[in-house]
Each structure stands twice: as C-alpha cells, then as structure tokens.
Structure 1
Amino acid sequence: MATAAEKSKEKTKAKQRYLRRKKERRKHRPKTLAASGDVTESNDASDEGGEASPSQDEDLEKPAVQQVVIETGEDTTKRPKKRKKTANEELEDVEMVAVENISRQLDESTKLLEPHPPPDALPSFPLPALPDAPSKSALALQGLDKALVDAEIVDPTIVLPIPDGEDDDGTMLSERTRKRLKDVGITELFAVQTRLLPFLLPRDPFQKALYQPYDPPRDVCVSAPTGSGKTLAYVLPIIEILSSRIVTRLRALIVLPTRDLVTQVRETFEALGKGRGLQIGTATGQQSFAHEQSQLVADKSSQLKGGSSRIDVLICTPGRLMDHLHGTPNFSLQHLRFLVIDEADRLLAQSFQDWLAQVLAATRPPPRALSEQTSEHKNLSLPIADAVAPAFLHTLPYPVVPTFPTESRDSSCQKLLFSATLTRDPGKIASLELRNPKYFVVQESKKEGVLDVVMERFSMPSTLTERMIVCESSQKPLIFFHLVHAHNVTNALLFTKSAESTTRLVRLFDFFEKARAQHAMAGAVQEIVVRAYSSDLPANERKAILEKFKAQEIQILVCSDLISRGIDISHVSHVVSYDVPVDMRKYVHRVGRTARAGRAGDAWTLVEEQEARYFKGILREADHLDKVKRLRVGEKELAPLIPDYETALGQLKEAYAR
C-alpha cells in the first residue's frame, strides 16, 4: 500500500498537472473559438486548490471534435450543446472585463496628461484683388448709340473733280450749281462732301421733297477735321433742295456759336446761291430786336397758325434764336426742312437758355386728342387762310380725317450735326432726339474706326507741321519776337488766354518794332503790322480788322479763342498758341485755322516750364505727342533782340503807369 507521503506527493503532482493544463486551455481558447466557432471547455469543479477527477483528466486529453461542412452548403455534423458556464468561470470573465476597463481608462487618462502637439497653422487665403479693368475702348463704347459704333469711315484723301456738262459724275449736283462752284474757284469736292452730298441729294425726287410727313429723312452726324469743307457739305444740299420752293417759308435753320461764324456762313450762302432767289437772314444781336423782327417776319399783326416768314434760311446764334422764338409773333419752325448745328460739341456743352430742347419742341407737332378738337370746333369760325405744315394740320379748328386710320404725320425736319470733335457723351447725343441717324467720320482708315473719335484721338491735316517751345514765362514775348523775325512767322494767328493779354502783347510788340526800327538803318527793317481781335472790340471794328487781315494789310492777328472755331482765312500759314490751350479740343480748333483745304501750315505752341508736363499729358492722352516736335531756342539766338526788348518793356511799364 502506498504511504501517506506518497499519496500526498501524487496529489501535489495532479494539482500541478491540472493547473498547467488549465493555463494551456486559457492560452488556446481564442484559437479554438476562431477555428470551430463553438466553445468546449472542461468542467472546473474546483479552484486552484481543488482536485480533478480522473474522468475530467481523460476528457481533457481527448482531441477536439472537428466539424465537417459538405460542399453542398449543408451542415452534416451535429453541433454540441453549449455548456452553461460555472460560477467560477463567470467570475473570471467579470474580472477580465473589469481589468480591461480599468486598463482602458488608465490609457485614456495617460493620453490626456501627455502634452498635445501644437495645432496646425490656419490656411492662408489670397489677398483680395480687384478684377481686371475693362479696356479704354470697351469703356468708350458703353452707352453709345449703335449707329455711332457702326459709323461710316471716310478716307480724308478722297477728292472728286467737279465735272462739266450734264453728267454730274456722282456729285449729285445740278449743272447750274456745278457751274457756280467753278465760278467761285472750287474745282473739286473734298472727302466729307463726296460722301455727304449723295446721301442728302438722292436720285429719287420724292426724297428731296420739302415735306415728307410719312417717310421723314434720316438725321446725319459728321465728324471731320477742321478745314475739311464741312460748311460746303451742308450749304450745297440746302441750296439744291430749297431752290424748288414756291412760297417763302423758314425751311433751313443754321445755329452757330459765334457771330463771326454767322457772317462767314452767310457769305458762303450768298456766293453759292446767287441767282436762286433764296432769301438769307441772320440773327446775332448786332442789330436791334425790332429791326431783326422786320427782316424775319412778314406779318406781325395777325395770329397765323402757319407762321409768316420773309426768309428761307436763317443763320443765327442760339441766344438770339431764343429771343425770336419767344418774342416774335408768327415766327414758326414748323416748316423746317433742315436744322444744322455747326460746331456741335461747343453748342451742346453750353445751355444757352436750354435752346436745344425748345427748338426741338418747336419743330415737333403738338399732341392733341380728337375729343379736344371736336369740342373746340363747334362755335369757331375759320381763321385767315395760312399754310400749315402737314404734320401740324391737327392744330386747325376743324377735324382732319386721315386717309388711313393708322397713319401719322411726323416733322420733315432733318437734323445735321457737324464738328471736328464730335461729342462722346451718350446723354448729349440722346438729347438731340436723332431719327435713325447716319454717322460719317472722316479719318485715316488705318486707325481704329469710330473709337478714335469717341476716345478723342483727333486727326490733323497731313500738311500741318506742329512744334512746341518750352521756355520761362518771362521769355515768352521774346520767343514770339524771335519766331516772327527768325522764322518769318507772318500771315499768322496768335492765340492768348484773355482779351487783356491780347491788348498788352500788341502794345509790347508795337514798342519793340519802333525800338528795332530806330536802331536799324533806314529801310532795312520791314514794318510788321500786328492788331488785336477780341470780344472787347465792337462788332463793326472787329469786322473791319478781319477784312484788313484777309486783305493782308495786317500780318499778325492776336486774338482769343473767340476766332478759333470755324473761321476760314485762306492765307493763314502760321498759328501760334502764345498761351497753352486748356484741353485738346481747343488745341485742335486753334491749329485748324491753318493747313486748310490741302494747303501747308505751321503750328507753334509756347509752353512755360511749369506747364510742360500738363501740355504733354493732354497730347499723350490723344496719342498725338509724337506728332509735335520740340524746338530749342538758345540764348545766342535771342541775344540780338534783348536790347530792343528791354526798351519796349520800359515803355510798356510807363504806358500802364499813366
């Protein structure tokens, strides 16, 4: 028999063997779960200090039952029943879960205690930037009338000889008019005339009628350089169309900015319309208002709905036109066939008592309801018979029955606008109430079309030479005297900024010429006559001075910008801007007094040092800076003139000190 010690030793070995197998079971438990999907454990009857029965040991030594799955997808093995866990196993599971939870909490708390990494930098956004600005050409075209954008570009080099005989050769002028043009020395038509005459004088006689109430003519806008023949372009069509008139009515109204231009245009009408029987009148305020009324209106005593007129063509300034429109009885614009606005940019820039809106209103027939007419027709007797324009028939005191119910009569007035610097303001163009306008732009075809006009890229005559001289303000009179004697600047117009400057410069030049004549030998110095032409002079004296200048009895005419627009003096070969013009428009109109009608000419501009940057800026904006050459005058060239110049300055101071 085995002793107690041996039994105790065997118990100890069995216990160790149990504990070892239990540990192995725990190690292999996840693998068994993953392989079989079921849990098969031995029944632990005791804790670590307990004993295991032999049957339990035998069960532990048996291999695990493998489950076989047939390819058909059906499970042919019987799953063993799931054994209920013992209390100790449940306790172990609870302890394991608790340990895992505690471990997880410790890990999370440890992470919280660890220093956090710095946050990433905020994303950088691009700085705000303005969008790309539209081009100047795109801005210039905004708001403009489509007709202006689609203007017809006319090459300024085009000329058309005036033919002899019955064939007009495309000039659309009658044989009588062509003969008259040659009598006054005009043998060819310039570019603006070659395009405008066929448009205003069509072949169809109905389109040249005095009244076109159902199909009124299109309006015309013309932009052409100074000296290109704009005046002749509207004088000839007016003479041709109005020559067919039988009754004298006011049918052509020409509005000009200055009195001198009125005189010049009247002379053109009288020279070309000689023998046509057209009555030409003017209204500038140079004569009394009553005298002008007697020349314009035939009957002032009775109220005539058709108006009364002694003239066919009226040439006037806008201020005087308003006086007659409001203060002269029977002065009516309802018969107008032509409304010409010459130098349109200047006239539209100045209100003149809002003349444009009132003139346009006077040419339009007033609206009137049929019910108002019939209510007034009951007890009215017919007035004195007078001619009413077709568009104004509804103003008569009896009903007008239309030929067709939907017909309407419009004014037959055709508006003609002319300027060397046509306005680019859409609001100003809209105020003209143009009717299906046609635009003509005379400029070189290599340029950018109508953009050159809209963006004020002015075109100059190809025969014009432009120069500027930068000098100190105190040397400007001396530089001018140098130009006169060293560069033979005679037959010239000299522009100053004011009438006072004009008078002072003329007196200084007279003193200089007298001092120079005293120091020179007798007969060695040719006398140069200089006169002032400004608004301070009365009208008759200005007219006399201008006539002497045209007759070349005066070599240099010193004037303000009063004469810079439109005046055509053929022998002017030099233009001197003694004071810098304030803008490019004034510069264009000043230099446009020379190099006219294909003749050569020179333009000089005296620029003070403090004005040089400004003057170059306005030339650069107009893309014209490279066309103006700079001339330098040194002290050596001025030295011979200084003694006489100082003498003249002393005499001028004495004259103003008196």
Structure 2
Amino acid sequence: MADPQQACLKAKTKAKKRYLKAKKERRKQRKNTARDGTLPEGETSDNPEDVPPEKTPTVINLTQQAEQSGFGTEGTIKKTKKRKLHRSIPGDFLEDQQSKPVEEVKSSLVDEPKSHRALPQFPLPTRPDAPSKIELALQGLNRAQIEAELVDPNSTLPIHLDADHNQSFLGLKTRKRLIELGVNELFAVQTAIIPFLLRPVHKYTSLYDPYHPPRDMCVEAPTGSGKTLAYALPIIELLSTRVVTRLRALIVLPTRDLVTQVREVLEMTGRGRGLKIGTVTGQHSFPHEQAQLVTDEEWRTGRTSKVDILVCTPGRLIDHIDGTPLFTLRDLRFLVIDEADKLLDKSFQDWLTKVLAVIQRPYHLYLPPTTPRRGFHLLENPSADSGVTASPISHESYSEFRTDYDEPKHSPCQKLLFSATLTSDPGKIASLGLRDPKYFIVRETATGATDSHHPVSKNFSMPANLTERMIVCDPSRKPLILFYLVHVRQVDNALVFTKSAESTARLVKLLELLEENSLMTGPEKFTIRSYSSDLPPSERKSILEQFREKKIDVLVCSDLISRGLDISHVAHVVSYDVPIDIRKYVHRVGRTARAGRHGEAWTLVEEQEARYFKTMMKDAGHFHHVKKLRISDKELFPFTAAYDISLLRLKEFYWSQ
C-alpha cells in the first residue's frame, strides 16, 4: 500500500515542474516581445522599456523627463521604483498630467517653464588661478614699500676735489678726508643715500625745521656694500656746522663689537671737524659712562651733553634714559638703527618704545587754533552808555590772525634704518612710526625681470665676487673635512661659524689636537683660536686685533660676529653648522668678498640636513649659485689615523674636566 505522504510530495513535484515550464515559456515570450515590440494579449511588462511608445503610461514619460532635468543618470533611472518617482514629483501636477493624453503631456513638458522643473543644472565649480608671488608679497605693504627705489650694485661715483663738480652735496673737507683714507669712489648705496640725506634745504631753514621735517629712510643693501659710511658722511657733514654741543645723533647697534667698529669709522672720517663722539655698551662702569655723557653744570652753561654723536647698544641706552638724570634726547636730529631686523626682532628692554616716546613729542608747545590769544575782542572806544559789552572772540575771526607760531610743529628727528635683510613685516614697520619713508634696495636688475627682481621680494642680494660651495658629509667626518680644507685647500684667513659657544670651544680643542698629532708641522702649522660670548670683553678685543694682524689663521666663532664686522683680509667663510634660515646665511657669507674683493664661502651640510638646506636656497632663488663639492675617503686618508687619536684624547680631556 502506497504511503500518502510520498504521494503528496510526488504531486507537489509535478506542480512545481508545471510552474517552472510555464515560467520558461513566459521568458521566451518576453524575448520575442523585445524583438517585435509587442506583448501577448492580456499580459503587461514590469519593465518600462518593454512597453511600446503608444502604450507607455504617463509615469514613464515623467520618468524620462526627470532624467533629462537632472534627477540622475540613465542607469539610476532604470532602477528607480515608480513609487519613488511619485514622491519626487508634486502630487497635483502628477494627477493633472495622468488625466491628459500622452501627446499633450509631452508637449506640456517641452513648453513648461524652467521654474516648474524639478532641479536646475549648475556648472561644476572651477579652481581659481593661484596668485603670483608679487600679489602675495604686496599684501599688507604700504605704498612706500611697493614703490621702493632699486639701486644697481655696480654703480659707482668717483670722488673729485673740483668745487664745481656735481658732488657739491659733500663738502670739500669731507672729500679731502676720504681721499686721504684711500676712498676714491663712492659705492652704489652711498651714491643713492648721501644725496638724499644732504638734499638742498630752504635758505631760511636750519638744521632743525619743525615745519618741514625730513623724510625717514629704510635701506636694504648687501653686506660689505658700505652702509656705515653711507650714513656716517651725511651726519658729519650736517653736524659739523653746530655751535653748541648737544646730543644730535644716536646710532643703535646690536653688539659691542659693532659699536667699536662704527666709532672708529666716525672718528676717521670726522677728524678735524670738532665733533665729539661717545659710546655706551656696558663695558665700563655706569658712573664712568655717566661722566662721559653729561655734565652737572647746566645752571651755568645751559647745556648738559658732552657728546654730539652717541653710539650704543639698546640695553645700555635704556639704562641711561632711566638712570642718568640730565641725559636727554630732546635735541636729537638723527636716529640710526643699524642691523634693524635684529634690533626689531628682540625687545632689548623695550628700548624702541621708550625712545620713540621721547623723540615723537612736538618740538615746541603751541596754542591750539580754538584758544583765543587775548580773551576778548572789544570795539574801538567802547563807552558804558553805548550798551556794547565785551564778547569773546570767535574761532572764525581768530583763524584770520594765525601766524607761524600757531602752526603745528613736528619732531625734526630723522629715522634711518639699515640692514642686509631688512624686514618687510607691516606690523614691525608700523611700530616705528616712520614719517613719509623712502626705501632704497640695492639689488641687481635684469632684462625681463621676474618676481625675484621685484623690490618687495625676499631674495636677498649676495656679494658680487663671492664663490659658494657646499659639501655633503657624514656628521662624524665634519672636523676631519674642515682640517682637510685648511691644509689641502688652503682655506686660511678664515672665519668658521658654529651654532653655539660650546660647539666653538669643543671644535677648537679638537683641531688643536689634530695639529699636534698630524704630520703637518713647521711652517704649515695653522694657528686656530675661538671667539664667543663666553670670553671676557678684553680677551675678545685682543683676539680680534690678532686676527686683523694675521697672527691667527682660522677664527672659530659663533654668530656673535656674523653681523656687520668688517675685517678686510677675510678670504674664506666656513659654515661648520648649517644656518637655520637664509638671513643668517646672508650675514655669515657677507664677512668676505666685501668692498669689491673676492671671497669664498663653504658650507658643511650633514646628510640629514641636505634636503633642508637645498630647499632654503631654492626658496631664496640662490641655489644655482652654490656649487657642490665631493671629498672622497682617499683624500682624507692621510689624516684619518691622527683624527682617531685626537678623538680619544678629546674624550679623555673632557672626562678629566
């Protein structure tokens, strides 16, 4: 007897086979319909593309219109359900369109205004062109900086003693003194600045003209181009006509060594002119400096100052402003800020704010225009019976009687800023309170000049006769390579810059041990000394004098003397440690190739610093001037044994300390 459960399963299997067979036939019919475009009677297609155009429902036309209006791509419309299209189209509009014939719906959609369509099409956003370097550099700058005057560094002007020559802006005594000192021509920065400072004045004006004060000046010129002489000559020329000794010129410098150097220049060029020059740096005691600056006989002579020109460091200047009772800047005619970028970067006891607060006061007190001078204006022969009473004078009538005494008067102090890397920061420039400033930039110009030749670009100028080289090396080999350069490449009369005073002392000790252990003895042995802030002032002065007299062949120093120091016989500058920015590099290499002489600059670059150094030089537009030098192990082999012994002895020396 058959099992009923198995009979039921067999019946279900036959039904399933019939269902699958019917499904297969329907698929064949759909394929035939796709070829012919017709459907069997009584059947409808779920796919809108299978429906003939004349039988297409209104919703399908709306779907196509939505696709054209930006609902999506063709692929996304095919997958969209009809109920979603109903949601995306307003209900009233959809019902109205479904009640119309297909052709009428098509025509209404074509002629329909754009405001009724679902979403408008907008163009894709485009990225604007990047601004040029000039546009970026000009942001925040004032008109004076943008219109800076470019000076050709190759321009010179011979000095003549003829009275009728075009150099009449310099007196005959000054020109004679320059020729005695061996200065036969003025350099580029001097040819531009000296005529500007010694411009002809009105015949009725004097050294102080509070009604027409002089313009301030900012100068950016390469190191060694003669900036010190450019402001020293006009100051001496103008102040030599003074009668009473008063503090009329103040020159502020960042270091004591520069103060000493500038004073020597002023004394040499101003010899025989009767000007008294003083310095305050903190090297001497405070009472000693007070005695050199002021006198206590004000009640008898009417004056307090003993100097006409004061050269100082900013910190010591503030000490005398606060602590010296009779010290005053009220008669100041010139304020010179040399190495301005360094002095503006550091506060130095907020010296600039205190000095500007003194020199920017009005030169004289004056009555305001709204204050009546005599109080009342009376009619001629007034009588008590006339009924006329006195009345205050009106502002309008008072303005008709103004005199020169009523005109506002300004401080005649002229501010002069100098640097090889002058800042263009608008905030720092604004803090100086410059009066109608004039900018001079000494830089080469070329035909078809690009952004790098624009006055406000920060591609600083280098000395024209400078040869630059870089050596990429392992850090452990840097002292050995420096020793090789000194003995094999004849790098003598050299300044070697390190990153700190401690590095200076350690390097000098290692080089001295190398000299002892190597075979380089006798006349080929070099004298090496260190120069840093750790040494007392007297010893530093003695070392500089020995270096100037060529008793020291290599002077290893920190960045203490990287600015402004002028030693004529320096032929090589070695950056033992890579400078942290382009400004330090400019000031370091500027110690050589000065005043038209030739010089070489060497930079020892560690392997991990090579990328940074190259990027820094490329950003400054100067990398193509730097030549790469390779030193093989074969060239260093003669010194390798002595170097290893010297390292061991150096280790023992510091352990014993």
TM-score by length of 2: 0.75
Give the CA deviation at 1:226. Answer: 0.5
Helix, strand or coil at the partner of 1:163: coil
Offset at residue 624 of structure 1 (A): 0.6
Partner of 1:199: 196
SS of 1:253's equivalent in the other structure is strand
1:328 maps to a residue whose letter is: T
1:638 matches 2:636: yes
- Identity rate of aligned residues, in percent? 60
CA distance in 1, matches of 2:215, 2:342: 23
Match of 1:472 in 2: 474
- 2:285 matched residue in structure 1: 288
C-alpha distance in 1 between matches for 2:204 and 2:490: 52
Residue of structure 2 in register with 1:320 after alignment: 316
Residue 440 (structure 2) aligns with = 440
Structure 1: which amino acid aligns with 2:135? A
Letter in 2 for 1:439: Y
Equivalent position amino acid for 1:344 in 2? A
Say yes or no: does 1:298 pair with 2:295. yes
Instruction: Name whichever of 194-203 and 593-602 sits farther off.
Output: 194-203
Q: String of CA shifts for 1:26-54, please: whole Å, max 9, x gaps.
A: xxxxxxxxxxxxxxxxxxxxxxxxxxxxx
Contact 1:153 1:449 in 2 (8 A): no
Superposed, 1:200-239 pairs within 5 Å as 200-204=197-201, 206=203, 209-239=206-236
8 Å contact from structure 1 (residues 201, 208) kept in 2: no
Alignment of 1:63-74 (within 5 A): none
Q: 1:217 to 1:207 in 2, by over 3 A?
A: farther
Q: How far apart are residue 206 of structure 1 and its match?
A: 4.5
Does the alignment pair 1:155 with 2:152? yes
Structure 1 spans left out of the alignment, 5+ residues: 1-108, 375-400
1:499 maps onto 2:448 in alignment: no
Measure, in 2, the Cα distance between the counterparts of 1:334 and 1:481: 55
Shift of 1:429: 1.0
Letter in 1 for 2:190: Q
Aligned residues of 1:168 and 1:174 also touching (Cα < 8 A): no
Q: 2:545: which partner in 1?
A: 547
What is the alpha-carbon distance in structure 2 between the residues aligned to residue 113 and residue 345 of structure 1? 76
Q: Contact 2:224–2:594 (CA<8 Å) still a contact in 1?
A: yes
Check whether the contact 2:472–2:605 (CA below 8 A) recurs between aligned residues. yes
Paired residue type of 1:163: H
Tell me the residue number matched to 1:602.
600
Distance of aligned partners of 1:255 and 1:113 in 2 relative to their CA distance in 1, 3 Å threshold: closer
Following TM superposition, by how much is the alpha carbon of 1:369 offset from its aligned partner in structure 2, in angstroms?
8.0
Q: What are the superposed Cα offsets for residues 247-286 of structure 1, whole Å, 9 maximum, x if unpaired?
A: 0000000011111100000000111111111110111111
Alpha-carbon distance in 1 for matches of 2:356, 2:453: 29
Decide whether aligned partners of structure 1 residues 512 and 264 sit closer, same or farther in structure 2, where only a CA change above 3 A counts. same
**Partner SS, residue 404 of structure 2:** coil
Question: What is the CA deviation profile of residues 199-241 of structure 1, one whole-angstrom value per residue up to 9, with x for unaligned ones?
Answer: 1112446498321111111111111100000000000000001
- 1:493-642 matches, within 5 Å, as 493-516=495-518, 519=519, 523=522, 525-642=523-640
Quickly say closer, same or farther: Cα 1:632–1:301, change in 2 above 3 A.
same
| Residue 336 (structure 1) aligned with residue 332 (structure 2) | yes
Residues 110/628 of structure 1: CA separation in 2 closer, same or farther (3 Å cut): closer
Counterpart CA distance in 1 for 2:60 and 2:274 is 114
The DSSP-based 3-state class of the residue aligned with 1:493 is strand
SS in 1 for 2:605: strand
Whether the 8 Å contact between 1:163 and 1:169 is mirrored in structure 2 is no
2:133 maps to a residue whose letter is K
- Look up the SS of the partner of 2:524 in the other structure: coil
Deviation for aligned residue 1:459: 1.2
1:384-408 superposed Cα distances (whole Å, 9 cap, x missing partner): xxxxxxxxxxxxxxxxx98436411
**Is the 1:343–1:420 Cα contact (8 Å) retained in structure 2?**
yes
User: Where does residue 387 of structure 2 map in the other structure?
Assistant: none
State the shift of 1:170 in Å. Answer: 2.3
1:122 aligned to 58, 71, 74, which one?
Answer: 71
Could you tell which deviates more after superposition, 447-456 or 410-419? 447-456
Deviation at 1:164, TM superposition (A): 2.3
Q: Indicate how the Cα distance of structure 1 residues 418 and 653 shifts in structure 2: closer, same or farther if over 3 A, else same.
A: same
Deviation string, structure 1 residues 45-89 (Cα, Å, up to 9, x no partner): xxxxxxxxxxxxxxxxxxxxxxxxxxxxxxxxxxxxxxxxxxxxx
Give the counterpart letter for 1:556 in structure 2: V
* Secondary structure, aligned partner of 1:487: coil
CA contact (8 A) 1:573 1:602 kept: yes
Query: How do 1:446-457 residues align onto structure 2 when only pairs under 5 Å count?
Result: 446=446, 447-448=449-450, 452=454, 454-457=456-459
Shift of 1:526: 1.7
Rounded Cα–Cα distance in structure 2 between residues aligned with 1:485 and 1:171: 51
Report the CA distance between 1:606 and its aligned residue: 0.3
Partner of 1:484: 486
- Residue in structure 1 matched with residue 23 of structure 2 by the alignment: none
The code of the aligned residue for 2:510 comes to: L
Matched residue pairs, number?
518
Q: Which residue in 2 is equivalent to 1:418?
A: 418
Which of 179, 182, 197 does residue 179 from structure 2 map onto?
Answer: 182
1:301 offset after TM fit, Å?
8.1
Determine if contact 1:307/1:331 at 8 Å carries over to the other structure.
Answer: no
- Secondary structure (helix, strand or coil) at the match of 2:193 reads helix
**What SS does structure 1 have at the residue aligned with 2:602?**
strand
Q: CA deviation at 1:455?
A: 2.7
- Point out the more displaced range, 605-614 or 525-534: 525-534
1:223, 1:440 within 8 Å by CA — same for their partners in 2?
yes
Letter in 2 for 1:183: E
Looking at structure 1, the residues matched to 205 and 584 of structure 2 have their Cα atoms a distance apart, in angstroms, of 37
Judge conservation of contact 2:245–2:308 (CA < 8 Å) in 1: yes
What secondary structure, in the 3-state scheme, does the structure 2 residue paired with 1:454 have? coil
Distance (Å, rounded) in 1 between the aligned partners of 2:62 and 2:193: 87
Between the aligned partners of 1:551 and 1:201, the Cα distance in structure 2 is: 36
Which letter maps to 1:284? T
Residue of structure 1 in register with 2:78 after alignment = none
More deviation, 575-584/321-330:
321-330
Q: Unpaired segments of 5 or more residues in structure 2?
A: 1-54, 73-120, 372-400
1:132 Cα deviation after fit:
2.9
Deviation for aligned residue 1:189: 0.6
Q: Secondary structure of 1:562's match? A: helix
